[in-house]
Structure 1
Amino acid sequence: MRKPLCFFLISLAMASAGAQNIPGPNIVLIVADDLGYNDLSSYGQSRFLTPHTNRLSKEGVRFTAAYSPSAVCSPTRYAIMTGTDPFRSYHHSHVLFNGEPLVIKKDQMTIASFLKKCGYVTGIVGKWHLGLGDAMPRDINEPGRGPNDVGFDYSYIVPDGHNMYPRYYIENGKPVVEPGITFDSEAVMLDRVGYKLVQHRPKGEWPNLRPDSTIGRRLVDKAVEFIETQKKPFFLYLPACAIHFPLAPDKEFVGRSGIGKHGDFVLEFDWLVGEVMQALDRNKIAGNTLLIVTSDNGGYGPLVSFDHNPAFPWRGKKGDAWEGGTRVPFIARWPNHIARGRISHERISLVDCFATMAAITGSTLPRDAALDSFSFLQLLLHAGAQSDRPYLVTGTRGMKQMAIREGKWKLIFEPETDKAQLYDIVTDPEENNEVSGSNPQMTMYLKSTIKNYLESGSSRPGAAGATKSVKELFREREARNQFISDELKHQI
């Protein structure tokens, strides 16, 4: 077993720079796609058992107030990778299509490049969905800049959603295709909440080199292979395709949940977690591995015919500013350091993973990186610890609605119209009773706070990002729409 990180140094404010020379913990971050708060039995779902995430919860800490920064996927993935909320640029608040270039800048620090500098071997296996290359539209045959250029030593990715074309994998920047296979396409413009995005559509018939029901097993094989070949501390980012549509569980799980393909796909995801846990056990590294399991956003709406609500007990679903759109399961296990069977009700955001992992290494974040990331390391290590976050911000596609949580209050705010709704999330967790009229001062305060947040450029103490007004943020939408309409007419 590797030597554990000297955590007495961390508990003493990580005072020793020499801590970086001691083997740190392995870190595995598993992110489901559209997994709801109530899809796992460890969170109260009673229709079928999810044994592996149950075990994980019993052996670690389960968070009840974890949030995805966005109610949709690409923006949350951007936040995980960069430690910066996806609302610092209007473009980053949108779900990307297969014609979009990489949204991470060439000189932008990522969680992978940061950990690589700290001596980690870094790998990604799974759904990327942050664009590729620098061309507009991007080249789907020669994808260009991607995970290996932003900090990952190894990458095996589903480039976009698994519902998107081409149906192939990309390994270390190269499409996994037979020699001579190319994908002829036309680029078209799509409109999403008033924003123009670019999509490749096939000319003719494209081969399916990635059958949906086989993706989970392929990703498990590649992830386990990565784990088992490492001799140094490693970071593995494993963004699964389950349980995003099309619902296509492996045949081993079909019919097992009793609530249709949705539940069967949840079982496949739970199995994926179990396979990673077994690999860690088999290689005798589980004790010094921080394993996190969460979801990129809230789950689907109610499955009425099966009497199952993936977002229960919250209102709303994926895409919404309600709790059901962004409140997600979040379980962390680190046997050498996290007490078993704990529950934390403190608020955390997935954007906080970056600062937390920086704290684990004992390294200081640069001022221009991880602009909105707060470490929750103390919440992992100590029962009763409180969050350092003064408030937490989430949002929907295109920043149509933003939400801010501070204490017991939650404000849903529309930046372009200035409309707001206020809820007491403690006494009214279902968000049924709008109370802005009876609490005008709190409403004004939270509106002012979220406006200041949007215009400040950063929210992490010590960080400094580019400031811009709310109007400037939305002018970015108009500028890009004009650019695509005018400058790319010859291509689209």
Structure 2
Amino acid sequence: MRNLLLCTILLAATTNSPSAAIAQGAEKPNVVLMMVDNLGWGELGVYGGGELRGAATPRLDALAAEGMRLLNFNVEPQCTPSRSALMTGRRPIRSATTKVVWGVPYGMVNWEITMAELFSEAGYATGMFGKWHLGDIPGRFPTDQGFDEWYGVANTTDESEYSSQFQFDASVSGQPMIQEARRDESPRDVKPYDIASRREIDSELIARAIDFMKRSVADDQPFFAFVPFTQPHLPTLPHPDFDGITGNGHYADVLAEIDFRSGQILDSIEELGIEDDTIVIWLSDNGPEYFRPWHGTAGPWRGAYFTAWEGSLRVPFLIRWPGRIGAGTTSNEIVHLVDMLPTLGRVAGYEVPDDRIIDGVDQLDFFLGQQTRSNREGFIVYNNDDVYGYKWRNWKLHLIELDNMNSEPRPLNVPRVFNLITDPKEEYEIQEEATWILPVIFEKIVEFESTLVEEPPVPFGVLEPYEPPKN
């Protein structure tokens, strides 16, 4: 791998292309990946929100101007599936991580190879500061899965409400906790995760992430900092310093806080003098909240998370790498969350696993402007364990419809097809104009599902240690 990387750098240095710029910069750029929790496409100023949503977002708008903004970046419908897809580069149907669950062993088995493990093998310091939601049993915590250190919550932010709910009984349910751990250590409880700490936790995550970056720079070691915010997931309550700051309610206050916290990370990168050698990625894990009064907006798109509507799948995505990724660029090309693992592998120098199916595709040349088209035309849409549809080019095919997370799924006798350019709300099916799409997309669905026969998925609820059956 070392010789391959050296050859790539020498070849790039002889060409007048963005690849040459990579060779002239850090051999192993730092990577800071900030992920917010359930923030819809339409919230930031650069996506049509900002002041229209009650709070300007100047820091994130500026980040978009300094790098690339995707208009068609896609995730999974729920929290656990999206985080699994990011960490493994694999669709969650393969990893038994297709849904949010309670009360049973769940999460990403230790057999899976994570982005953090790959960064670590490539010589990076790895730190995670925030919400995990990929398992809360030994073998499945962040520090079991490649992170050198972690501070945050293992599960969902809903848990912060438990202790203040009607007839709460910690003796039977347990008290949700904020935890911390070092690699291969059992997590240590720091303090209860309740409404008071829910308001303050994101400020703590940012402080710890900044400290991690400072220590890594002092040690002259490249780093991967994963910062999964807990905001704006319900209960959408701001830090006391931001409570009432906008005059437009708690959601707007939280939006202002998210912008400020993101700016703190960006300021620290600048103060450390590592801007040119650091890739910054900022994205959301899901579409907006559904429950009022915490609900958000997906802008022109229909729906909220837990569905297959475009508002569930399409979220904000910003990426900056000065001198490599063109400033102020935008694209409506389709990119999926699973693409992050192979894309970052090329800049970090890690090998993408070849002993299992990886669904992500390398998008580095697209990000660098070496090509105008994404390396992806679409993807199958799973919700829980069922195929809800397929998104391909500007088309969306639905096999099952779910209006919102509390409604009943409706299997469709005849698939519905929408054109997302002419009908972003997916309201007016154009069956007569688009029947040619059906055989094209069904062939793609069959092709994907055949890979589940080739490599059977991890069984749901399996305990550690897990090893796949021998073929």
Letter in 2 for 1:52: R
**2:161 paired with 1:166:** no
From 446, 450, 455, the counterpart of 2:445: 450
How far the C-alpha of 1:380 sits from its partner, in A, is: 1.5
User: What is the aligned partner in structure 2 of residue 333 from structure 1?
Assistant: 320
User: What is the aligned partner in structure 2 of residue 236 from structure 1?
Assistant: 225
Whether the aligned pair in 2 keeps the contact of 1:88 and 1:454 (CA below 8 Å) is no
User: What is the aligned partner in structure 2 of residue 467 from structure 1?
Assistant: 455
How far the C-alpha of 1:116 sits from its partner, in A, is: 1.4
Secondary structure class of the residue paired with 2:346: helix
Which ranges of structure 2 fall in alignment gaps of 5 or more residues? Answer: 1-7, 160-174, 402-409, 464-471
Whether the aligned pair in 1 keeps the contact of 2:35 and 2:283 (CA below 8 Å) is yes
How far the C-alpha of 1:349 sits from its partner, in A, is: 0.8
Whether the aligned pair in 2 keeps the contact of 1:23 and 1:233 (CA below 8 Å) is no
Letter in 2 for 1:405: K
Per-residue displacement from partner, 1:218-268 (whole Å, max 9, x unpaired)? 101111111110021111111110000111210121122343111211222
Which ranges of structure 1 fall in alignment gaps of 5 or more residues? Answer: 134-142, 182-205, 458-464, 485-492
| CA–CA separation in structure 2 for the residues paired with 1:85 and 1:260 | 37
Letter in 1 for 2:100: V
Per-residue displacement from partner, 1:433-460 (whole Å, max 9, x unpaired)? 1123543331233123123212314xxx
Whether the aligned pair in 1 keeps the contact of 2:109 and 2:140 (CA below 8 Å) is no
How far the C-alpha of 1:379 sits from its partner, in A, is: 2.0
Per-residue displacement from partner, 1:280-306 (whole Å, max 9, x unpaired)? 001000111000000001013497x99
Q: CA, structure 1 residues 246+301, in 2 after alignment: closer, same or farther (shift >3 Å)?
A: closer
Secondary structure class of the residue paired with 1:168: strand
From 125, 132, 138, the counterpart of 2:136: 132
Report the more deviating stretch, 80-89 or 144-153.
144-153
Q: CA, structure 1 residues 430+209, in 2 after alignment: closer, same or farther (shift >3 Å)?
A: closer
TM-score by length of 2: 0.81
Per-residue displacement from partner, 1:347-384 (whole Å, max 9, x unpaired)? 10111110110122344423235611111112221175
Q: CA, structure 1 residues 130+302, in 2 after alignment: closer, same or farther (shift >3 Å)?
A: closer
Whether the aligned pair in 2 keeps the contact of 1:224 and 1:279 (CA below 8 Å) is yes
- Write out aligned runs for 1:379-390 (5 A): 379-382=366-369, 385-390=372-377
TM-score by length of 1: 0.77
Whether the aligned pair in 2 keeps the contact of 1:82 and 1:369 (CA below 8 Å) is no
How far the C-alpha of 1:11 sits from its partner, in A, is: 9.7
How far the C-alpha of 1:337 sits from its partner, in A, is: 1.1
Whether the aligned pair in 1 keeps the contact of 2:28 and 2:349 (CA below 8 Å) is no
Letter in 2 for 1:431: E
User: What is the aligned partner in structure 1 of residue 164 from structure 2?
Assistant: none
User: What is the aligned partner in structure 1 of residue 12 from structure 2?
Assistant: 9
Number of equivalenced pairs: 420
How far the C-alpha of 1:171 sits from its partner, in A, is: 2.4
User: What is the aligned partner in structure 2 of residue 83 from structure 1?
Assistant: 89
| CA–CA separation in structure 1 for the residues paired with 2:432 and 2:13 | 46
**2:304 paired with 1:322:** no
Whether the aligned pair in 2 keeps the contact of 1:121 and 1:234 (CA below 8 Å) is yes
- Write out aligned runs for 1:244-283 (5 A): 244-283=233-272
Secondary structure class of the residue paired with 2:436: helix
Q: CA, structure 1 residues 37+263, in 2 after alignment: closer, same or farther (shift >3 Å)?
A: same
| CA–CA separation in structure 2 for the residues paired with 1:10 and 1:319 | 46
From 144, 148, 153, the counterpart of 1:153: 148
User: What is the aligned partner in structure 2 of residue 93 from structure 1?
Assistant: 98
| CA–CA separation in structure 1 for the residues paired with 2:56 and 2:193 | 37
From 29, 35, 55, the counterpart of 2:33: 29
Report the more deviating stretch, 218-227 or 168-177.
168-177
Secondary structure class of the residue paired with 1:298: coil
| CA–CA separation in structure 2 for the residues paired with 1:467 and 1:302 | 38
**2:108 paired with 1:103:** yes
How far the C-alpha of 1:10 sits from its partner, in A, is: 9.0
Q: CA, structure 1 residues 257+7, in 2 after alignment: closer, same or farther (shift >3 Å)?
A: farther
User: What is the aligned partner in structure 2 of residue 439 from structure 1?
Assistant: 434
Q: CA, structure 1 residues 248+302, in 2 after alignment: closer, same or farther (shift >3 Å)?
A: closer
How far the C-alpha of 1:217 sits from its partner, in A, is: 0.8
Q: CA, structure 1 residues 436+23, in 2 after alignment: closer, same or farther (shift >3 Å)?
A: same
Letter in 1 for 2:126: T
Whether the aligned pair in 1 keeps the contact of 2:139 and 2:145 (CA below 8 Å) is no
